[in-house]
Amino acid sequence: MLVFWMLFGTSILLAMAPPLYLAGSGISTLVLGIPFSVAYWLVDALLATGAVWLLWIVENIRDEVGEEPSEAGL
């Protein structure tokens, strides 16, 4: 669970911290053939998607996916 929050927290930080994006927005370097500013958002989206996907896999292994709140003890 800690790994999920670290990955997801990093994604949130990248999305919500404009100075990080603005520092890289003037860079004209290409990353895999696309401008750095576009690659920044693609990496951020892939990081968030990957974190949620990994959490789903872990919950699926623990057999927690699809539980109703009453079954989960809430």
pLDDT at 74 over 60: no
- Coil, helix or strand for 60? helix
Mean pLDDT of 4-18: 84
> Band of the pLDDT at 69, cuts 50, 70, 90?
low
* pLDDT 10s digits, 37-66: 888 889 889 988 998 898 889 888 888 877
Mean pLDDT of 29-41: 85
Q: Per DSSP, what are the bridge partners of residue 30? A: 35
Q: What is the pTM of this model?
A: 0.69
Q: Where are the beta strands (DSSP E) in the chain?
A: 30-31, 34-35
> Quick one: 51 exposed, middle or buried, by C-beta within 10 A (0-12, 13-18, 19+)?
buried
- Coil, helix or strand for 35? strand
